[in-house]
Structure 1
Amino acid sequence: MLERSLRALEFEYIQEQIAQFAMSSLGKSAALQMQPFANQAEAESELGAVDECLRCILRAGAPPFGGITDITSDLRRAQVGGTLSADRLLAVAQLIHGGRAFRQYVERSTELIELVHLPRLLERMVDARRTEQEIRSAIDDDGQVLDNASPTLHRLRGERRRAEGEVKTVLDRLLRSNQKLLQEPIVAMRGSYFCLAVRVEHKNQIRGIVRDVSSSGSTVYIEPQAVVDISNKVREIELLEEREIERILLELSQVVAAVAEELRVNVDVLQTVDRWFAKAAYAKATGAKRPTLTDGVWRLYGARHPQLNRDAVPVHVTLGESFRLLIVTGPNTGGKTVTLKTIGLLTLMAMSGCFLPTERESEIGFCSDIFVDIGDEQSIEQSLSTFSSHMKNIIQMLSNVRRDSLVLLDELGAGTDPAEGSALAIAILNRLSAVGCRVIATTHYAELKGYAFQNDAAMNASMEFDVESLRPTYRLLVGVPGRSNALAIASRLGLPQDILDEARVHVAETDVHVEALIGKLEEARREAELAQREAEEEREATERLRRAWEEKSQRLDADAEAVRTRARTEATALVERAQQESEKIIQELRSMRTTAGVKDHHLVELRKSLEGLVPEQQPARRGKSAKSKPKLTVGSRVRVISLGQKGDIVDVSSDGSAATVQLGLMRMKVGAGDLEVLQEKREEQTVRHTRQGMAKDIRMELDVRGETAEDALLRIDKYLDDAVVTGLARVVIIHGKGTGALRNAIRRHLQHHPQVKSSVPGSQGEGGDGATVVTVRV
C-alpha cells in the first residue's frame, strides 16, 4: 500500500486510536505499526479473530494483560551472554506469568463461547514456569535481589547488618559521652560517612577524620576513628555483596538465555492477541460492525468517518456491482471530500482487520492498492503549481493502477482552464475505465455529469444542497447529478433580479435544460422517497395486523383443542368405568355360564360394544381434500367424525347420502359427509362384522410363561373369546415346561372349554411340550 495513500486518508489516526485500547506496550507497538494485509485471506482471518475477542470481552470481560512488557531486547542481550538487571529479570518472569494467566482466561472463555483463532494461536506458546520460579526465588516484586538468593549472599548481608549495628552502637556511646564537645547531639551524614558535629575549638579532642566543615566554620564534622574501622569493614562486605549479586544475576540471565527462543514466540503471541483485543475494544467503544470482504464490490450502509461524531450524516453508497465509476458533484463544503475520505479510510480499516463505524454490516471490496489524489500539494521549493502537483500524482497512479485497485480523485482536472481541465478529466476516466478498476471522483465540471450518462460503467452522484436554507445536507445521492445552485443561492441572498436575468441570458441553453432536468430528477427522487416511506409504514401496519391475527387464531385453536381434549378425557373416563363394571359382571356370568346357559361370544360382544364407545385421543380433522360423499357399503368400517367413534355400516340409503352405523350397542343414522371410511367390506367377513362388530387384531400365539395358573386361565379365556370373534381357527398357547404344573392345569382346562375343538402339544418347530396348539370353534 502506498505510503502517500495512507497519509492522505489519515490512517495514522486509526492506528493511534486503536493503540489507546492496547493493554501492554506490545499491543501499542503493534497497533501503531498496523498496515493493510496483502491478501484477502489474512484480512478475513484477522476479522474473525477480532470478532472472537469482542465476544470474549462481552461474555467474559477484559483479558488479563497486567505486567506484560516487551522483553525482546532482554532476550537478545541474554543470548549474547549479557547480564540482565534484577528489574529486567522480573519483567521476564511477569511476562511468563501473564502468558499463563491469559491462557487460563481463554480456557474459561471457551466454556462460554465457541473459539477457533485464539486456541489455535495459543498452541504456539510455551509455559516456562520453571524459569519464572527460579527468577521469583531470587528477586522480589520490587525488583530487589532476595537474601535467600544464595547462601553466600545471605551470610554477607547478615555480616553487613551486624557491622552497621556496631556503627550505631559506637555512635550512640560517643554522643552520650561527648555532649559538651558537640555542636548538636546528632549523627550527621556527610556523603556515606557517619559524623559527629563537633565545635571547632574541640576538634582535637575526638580522634577521627574531618569529613566536612560548616559554612560558618564553627562546626567540624568528624568521623570517629572507631567508626572508620567498622565502616571500612562494611564497605568491604558491600563490595563482596555486589559481586555475589552480579554472579546471581548472570546465572539467572543464562537460565533465561536457555529458553530465549521459546519466550520470543510467547512475546509474538501476546503481541498479536493484544492487537486483536485492542481492535475489539475499539469496536465495542465505537459501536463498529464487522465488515464482509468481497471481490471488488462496496456496499456501505450508514458509514461515518471515524473522526466525526455520531451526529454526522451517514453515507450510503454502492460501487463495483452495476457500475465501476462514481462521479460525485456538488457545491464546495458540501461533503464531497469527506465522503471520499470516508470510503477510502474504511476500506483501509477493513483490509487491516478492523471493524467499521457503520449502521449495519457492510461490504468492502478487497483491493491490491488504493491510489489517492486529495488536497492541494503545490510545492514552492519544487516550483510546482496545484495543477502540476495533481498531474504528477495522477501520472504515477496511471502507470501502476490495476484492475483490482481503488482510485479516489478529488476535484479531478481542477487548477487549470475549465475546458481543458474537463477534457483531461474525461480522458483520465476513460483510461481508468479501460483498466477496469474502481473509481470515485469528485468534480465541479458539468461535462462530467454527461460523461456518466454516456459511459455504462459510470454513475452520477451528488451531495444534496438545501436551497431554502442555503445549507448542505451532506447526504450522498447516488444516481442524481449535482446542480450548480449559484443563481438560486444569489437570488436567496438578495441579488437584484435584473442582474440575475442577465446572468441567465449568458448561461448556455443546454446548461439550462440540464439544470432543469436535474431539478426534475431531484423532485422525482423526493417524491419516490416519500412514497417509499409511506409504503414502508403501510407494510409495517399490515405486518402488525397479520401477526395479531395469527396470534389470535392460534389462541382460538389452542382453546378449541383444549376443550376437545377435555371432552375426550371425560368420555374415556366414563367408558373405562363402565368397562370395569362390565368386566366384573362378565366374570360373574362366566362363572355361572354352565347353569345360566350364557354363551361366551355374547359376553365378548357386550365387552366389544363398550370398547367401541371409547373416543380416539387424536381424531382426524376434516380436511379440504376429503371427499364430500365417500363410497358407502354395508359391512365397511367407518369413523363418525363428529363423535370421534368407530362403527360398522349395517344399512345404506338408496341415494348413498346417509348410512345406518352400528356403534357398539347403539345404531344411528349418519350423513355421508360425517363419515370416514376406514376399511372396505371384505366378502368373507361381511356377515360376521355386521353381526359381531369389528374386534381388535390379536396375535397367533399367547405367552403365559411365569404366570400363576389362575391368572393364566383368565387370560386364556379372554384370548379364546377374541380368537372366536376374529375368526382365528388355530392358535398356540406358550406355557413353558418348568415343573409341569402350569402346563397340566392349562391342558386340563382346554379339554372342557366350550370354544375349543381340540388341543395337542406343539410340534418341534412350535415349542414342543412347552406349547399347546388349540383348534378353535369359529
Structure 2
Amino acid sequence: MLEKSLATLEFFKVRAQIAKFAASGLGQNRLEELSPYTLCTEAEQELEAVDEAFVCIQRFGQPAFGGISDIRDALKRAQLGSVLNIEQLLAIRRCIEGTANLKQYIRNAVGQYETAEGLGTSNIFPHVRELSEALFDARRLEVEIARIILDDATISDHASPELRQLRIERRTAEARARKILEDLLRKEARHLQEPVIALRGQSLCLPVRVDAKHQIPGIVRDTSASGSTVYVEPQAVLEQGEKVRELLVREEREIEKILQQLSALVAEVADELRENCQLLSNLDAWFAKARYALKHHCSKPKLNSDGYWLLRSARHPLLDEKQAVPIDLELGREYRMLMITGPNTGGKTVTLKTMGLLTLMAMAGCFIHANENSEIAFCRTIFADIGDEQSIEQSLSTFSSHLKNIIHMLQQVHEQDLVLLDELGAGTDPGEGAALAVAILETLAECGARVVATTHHAELKAFAFREPAAINASMEFDVQSLQPTYRLLIGVPGRSNAFAIARRLGLPEKIIERASRYISNEQEEMDRLIGEMEKARKQHLEALAAAEEARNKAQSLEEQYQRALVEWEEASSRKEEELLQEAERVLVNARQTAERVIQELRRERKDWKDHEFVELRKSLEEALPTRKNIQRAKSGNKKAIAVGQAVRVLSLGQKAEVIELSGQYATVQMGPLRSKIDVRDLEPIEGASKPPVQGVRVKGGESIRMEIDVRGETVEDALLRIDRHLDAAMLQGLGRIVIIHGKGTGALRTAIRQHLKHHKAVKSFASGSLGEGGDGVTVVSVQV
C-alpha cells in the first residue's frame, strides 16, 4: 500500500487511536506498526480473530492482561550471559503470571460458551483459543523467581542457606553495635547534638557537637552542612562495624551468585518466552481492536475480491459520532465509477476519505464505522489525490501538484485498485480542466479500476450519463436554509445552486436575470432536470416513509390480533374442556341409569323388538360427543379439503360430501341434509373420492343416493344410517334403495333384514339380483 495514500486518508491517526486501547506495551507496539494486509485471506482471518475477541468481551468481560510487558530485551541479555537485575526478573515473573491469567480467562470463556451454545470446543473462538494454547507454561521459572525475589523487590532470606547465615550474622553484629551505641547515648548525652543513632554510609554513628568531638574517641564519618555536628563512629563499635561491612560484601556476592543462577534459568526458556511475547502481542492487538469497536459502535465488514463496496450508514472515524451524518454508498457492480458533485463544504471530500479510510481499516483487520452487512472490496492499492497539494518548495501550483500525482497513478493503476480523486480538473482553465478530467476518467474506465471522483464540472456529469460504467451522485443541499445536509444521493447529479443562494441572500433579481442569460440552454435544461429529479426523490421518500409507517401499524395490529386470538383460543379451550368434563360426568351417570332402565324394559316389555332397544341405546350414545372427535376437530385438518371430496364430520361421526368451499368453511351434503361446517371439523376419508351420484334430484338441487354402503360397520352404526336413509327416501319420494352390506358371516345381513321387517317405511325387501350383488345386497321398496 502506498505510504502517501495512508497519510492522505489519515490512516495513521486512526491507528494511533486503536493503539491506545492496548493493555500492554506488547500490544501497543504491535498496533503502532499496523498496516493493511497484502492478501485478502490474511485480513479475513484477522477480522475473524477480532470478532472472537469482540464476543469474549461482550459475554465474559475484559480479559486479564495485568503484569504482561515487553520483556524481550531482558531475555536477550540473559541469553548473552548477562546477570539480570531484580527489576528485570520481577518483570519476567509478572509476565509469566499475566500469561497464566490470560490463558485461564480464555479457557473459562471457551468452557462457558460451550455450555451455553452446545458447540464443540474446536468450533469455539478457534483463533483466540489456538494462540492461547500455544503459550508456553513457564510456571516453574515463575515459582523459582517468586521464592527468591519478594514483591518489594528484595531478596528473600531463604534464597540460599549461605545468604540466610550471612544475614543472621550481620543482624547479630548490628544488634551488638546498637547496644554499644545505646549505652554511649546515655553516658555521653552532654556531648551529643541530639540523642539518636545516625547511619552514615554503612557505619552507625553518633551526632557529636563539633566542640566535643575529641571527647568521644572514634572515626569521623561525616559532617553536617552547618559544620556544627560531626558524625563519629565510636572506637567501641569499630570492630562490630567492620564485621558488618564485611558481611555485607559477602552478602552482595551471594546475591549476585543467586541472580546469576536465576538469569541462567531464564536463558534456558528465553526462546519460548520470546515466542510468548509475540503471541501475547497478537492477542492484545485483537482485544484492543475489539475494545475500539465496542467504544465506537463499529461492526465487522464482509471482505470480497470482486471489487464491490456496500457501505450502510458509514461514518468517518475521526468525526464526532453524534454530529457525523452517515452515508450509504454502493460501488462496483452496476457501476464502477461514481461522480460526486455538489457545493463546497457539502461533504464531498469527507465522503472520499470515509470510503478510503474504512477500506484501509477493513484491509488491516479492523472493524469499521458502519452498520452490519457492509461490504468492502479488498484492493491491491488505493490511490488518493485529495486536498490542496500546492508545494512552495517545489514551485508547484495546486494544478501541477494534482496532475503530477495523477500521472504517477495512471502509470501504475490496475483493475483491482481503488482511485479517489478530489476536485478533478480544478486549478486551471475550466474548459481545459474539464477536458483533461474527462480524458483521465475515460482512461481509468478502460483499465477497469474503481473510481470515486468529486468535481464541479458539468462535463463530468454528462460523462457519467453517457458512460455505462459510471453514475452521478451529489451531496444534498437545502436551498431554504442555505445549508448542506451532508447526505449522499446516488443517481442524482448535483447543481451549484448559485442563483438560488444569491436570491436568498438578497441579490437584486435584475442581476440574477441578467446572469441567467449567460447560462447555456444545455446547462439550464440540466439544472431544470436535476431540480425535477430532486423534487421527485423527495416525494418518493415521503411516500416511502408513509408506506413504512402504515406497514408498521398494520404489523402492530396483526400482532395484537394474533395475541388476542391465542388468548381467546386458550380461554375457549379451557372452557370447552370444563364443559366437556361436566357433560361427561352427567352423561355417564345418565348412561348408567338408562342402561338399567333398558335392562328393566327388556324384562318387562316382551313385545319390544331388538331394533327398538338398539335405537334407544344409539340415541343415548350420540348424545355424548367423544373427546377424540373434539380434539381432532380442535387440532384442525392438516390435509387439503377439495370440492367433491368424501369426508367425515368429526363432531357428528357422519360421512359427507364437500359441495362448496368458502374460506374456513365448507358446505357438505349429509344424506338429505346440507350444512355449512368449519373445515377443521372435517377429515378426508383415505382412498375415497367423490362417490357417484345415483339418485333423484329434489327441490333445491339436493339429491338422495339410491344405494347405501354399510360394509365393515357395526350393527348399531349400520342400522342408524339405514334408518336415516329410509326416512330421507320416503320424504323425497324415492321408491327403491339398495343396501350394500356384503356377505361375510351373514350377521350384519341378518340383523339388517330383521330390522327391516318392522320398519314403517319399508314395503318389502329382497336379495339383489346376480348383477346387483346377490346376497351381498338387500333391495328395499320404500313407502312413498
Both proteins in one fold, TM over 0.5: yes
Q: How do 1:37-186 and structure 2 match up within 5 A?
A: 37-113=37-113, 115-116=124-125, 117-186=127-196
Contact 2:421 2:453 in 1 (8 A): yes
Structure-1 residue corresponding to 2:632: 619
2:486 to 449, 474, 477: 474
Structure-2 residue corresponding to 1:256: 266
Q: How do 1:676-687 and structure 2 match up within 5 A?
A: 683-685=742-744
Structure-1 residue corresponding to 2:558: 546
2:236 to 218, 223, 226: 226
Pair 281,583 (structure 1): closer, same or farther in 2 beyond 3 Å: farther
Aligned-partner Cα distance in 2 for 1:142–1:457:
70
Q: Does 1:371 align with 2:383?
A: yes
Structure-2 residue corresponding to 1:734: none
Q: Does 1:437 align with 2:496?
A: no
Q: Does 1:532 align with 2:544?
A: yes
Aligned-partner Cα distance in 2 for 1:287–1:216:
66
User: For 1:23-73, what per-residue CA distance to the aligned partner results, in whole angstroms no more than 9, with x for missing partners?
Assistant: 111222222222122222222222222222222212111111111111122
User: For 1:557-609, what per-residue CA distance to the aligned partner results, in whole angstroms no more than 9, with x for missing partners?
Assistant: 555555555555555556666788999999x99xxx9xx9xxx9999999999
1:284 to 289, 294, 300: 294
Structure 2 letter corresponding to 1:305: H
Aligned-residue CA RMSD (Å): 3.7
Contact 1:193 1:223 in 2 (8 A): yes
Contact 2:646 2:655 in 1 (8 A): no
1:324 to 315, 336, 345: 336
User: For 1:67-111, what per-residue CA distance to the aligned partner results, in whole angstroms no more than 9, with x for missing partners?
Assistant: 111112222222222222222222222222222212221222123
Structure 1 letter corresponding to 2:146: R
Unpaired runs of 5+ in structure 1? 647-651, 673-679, 694-778
Aligned-partner Cα distance in 2 for 1:566–1:669:
32
The 10-residue stretch of structure 1 (236-245 or 611-620) with the greater mean CA deviation from structure 2: 611-620
Aligned-partner Cα distance in 2 for 1:216–1:545:
95
Contact 1:605 1:692 in 2 (8 A): no
Aligned-partner Cα distance in 2 for 1:251–1:93:
15
User: For 1:624-652, what per-residue CA distance to the aligned partner results, in whole angstroms no more than 9, with x for missing partners?
Assistant: 724568599xxx99488989899xxxxx9
Q: How do 1:267-416 and structure 2 match up within 5 A?
A: 267-294=277-304, 295-309=306-320, 310-416=322-428
When the two structures are aligned, how many residues end up with a matched partner?
672
Q: How do 1:508-523 and structure 2 match up within 5 A?
A: 508-523=520-535
User: For 1:418-444, what per-residue CA distance to the aligned partner results, in whole angstroms no more than 9, with x for missing partners?
Assistant: 222111111111121111111111112
Q: How do 1:736-751 and structure 2 match up within 5 A?
A: none
Residue 548 (structure 1) shift:
3.5
Structure 2 letter corresponding to 1:107: R
Pair 399,235 (structure 1): closer, same or farther in 2 beyond 3 Å: farther
Identity of aligned residues (%): 49
Aligned-partner Cα distance in 1 for 2:313–2:617:
76
Structure 2 letter corresponding to 1:669: R
Pair 554,688 (structure 1): closer, same or farther in 2 beyond 3 Å: farther
The alignment's TM-score, normalised by the length of structure 2, stands at: 0.78
2:516 to 504, 525, 540: 504
Aligned-partner Cα distance in 1 for 2:483–2:645:
76
Pair 567,421 (structure 1): closer, same or farther in 2 beyond 3 Å: same
Aligned-partner Cα distance in 1 for 2:212–2:545:
105
The 10-residue stretch of structure 1 (605-614 or 661-670) with the greater mean CA deviation from structure 2: 605-614
User: For 1:702-723, what per-residue CA distance to the aligned partner results, in whole angstroms no more than 9, with x for missing partners?
Assistant: xxxxxxxxxxxxxxxxxxxxxx
Structure 1 letter corresponding to 2:724: K
Residue 311 (structure 1) shift:
2.4
Q: 3-state DSSP class of the match of 1:89?
A: helix
Pair 690,560 (structure 1): closer, same or farther in 2 beyond 3 Å: farther
Q: Does 1:669 align with 2:680?
A: no
Residue 374 (structure 1) shift:
1.1
Aligned-partner Cα distance in 1 for 2:52–2:560:
39
Aligned-partner Cα distance in 2 for 1:606–1:168:
124
Q: 3-state DSSP class of the match of 2:284?
A: helix
Contact 2:618 2:720 in 1 (8 A): no
Structure 2 letter corresponding to 1:235: R
Aligned-partner Cα distance in 1 for 2:83–2:252:
14
Contact 1:463 1:475 in 2 (8 A): yes
Aligned-partner Cα distance in 1 for 2:364–2:136:
28
Structure-2 residue corresponding to 1:688: 747
Residue 322 (structure 1) shift:
0.7
Aligned-partner Cα distance in 1 for 2:41–2:539:
44
Structure 2 letter corresponding to 1:684: K
Residue 318 (structure 1) shift:
0.7
Contact 2:191 2:209 in 1 (8 A): yes
Pair 450,583 (structure 1): closer, same or farther in 2 beyond 3 Å: same
The 10-residue stretch of structure 1 (388-397 or 682-691) with the greater mean CA deviation from structure 2: 682-691
Structure 1 letter corresponding to 2:341: T
Structure 2 letter corresponding to 1:303: A
User: For 1:414-468, what per-residue CA distance to the aligned partner results, in whole angstroms no more than 9, with x for missing partners?
Assistant: 2222222111111111121111111111112121111100111111111111222
Residue 148 (structure 1) shift:
0.7
Pair 366,576 (structure 1): closer, same or farther in 2 beyond 3 Å: farther
Structure-2 residue corresponding to 1:649: none
Contact 1:616 1:645 in 2 (8 A): no
Residue 334 (structure 1) shift:
0.9
Structure-2 residue corresponding to 1:23: 23
Aligned-partner Cα distance in 2 for 1:56–1:211:
63
Contact 1:645 1:663 in 2 (8 A): no
Structure 1 letter corresponding to 2:95: L
Unpaired runs of 5+ in structure 2? 115-123, 657-669, 684-693, 711-715, 729-738, 753-784
Structure-1 residue corresponding to 2:762: none
Structure 1 letter corresponding to 2:489: L
User: For 1:106-163, what per-residue CA distance to the aligned partner results, in whole angstroms no more than 9, with x for missing partners?
Assistant: 2221233352322222221222221211111111122322111111111112222222
Contact 2:310 2:329 in 1 (8 A): yes
Structure 2 letter corresponding to 1:479: G
User: For 1:314-358, what per-residue CA distance to the aligned partner results, in whole angstroms no more than 9, with x for missing partners?
Assistant: 111111121111111111111111111111111111122222222
Structure 2 letter corresponding to 1:625: I
Q: Does 1:464 align with 2:519?
A: no
Pair 502,133 (structure 1): closer, same or farther in 2 beyond 3 Å: same
The 10-residue stretch of structure 1 (104-113 or 652-661) with the greater mean CA deviation from structure 2: 652-661
Pair 181,548 (structure 1): closer, same or farther in 2 beyond 3 Å: closer
Pair 393,579 (structure 1): closer, same or farther in 2 beyond 3 Å: same
Pair 518,164 (structure 1): closer, same or farther in 2 beyond 3 Å: same
Pair 681,379 (structure 1): closer, same or farther in 2 beyond 3 Å: farther
The alignment's TM-score, normalised by the length of structure 1, stands at: 0.78
Aligned-partner Cα distance in 2 for 1:419–1:151:
93
Pair 219,75 (structure 1): closer, same or farther in 2 beyond 3 Å: closer
Pair 68,452 (structure 1): closer, same or farther in 2 beyond 3 Å: same
The 10-residue stretch of structure 1 (526-535 or 219-228) with the greater mean CA deviation from structure 2: 219-228
Aligned-partner Cα distance in 1 for 2:30–2:645:
81
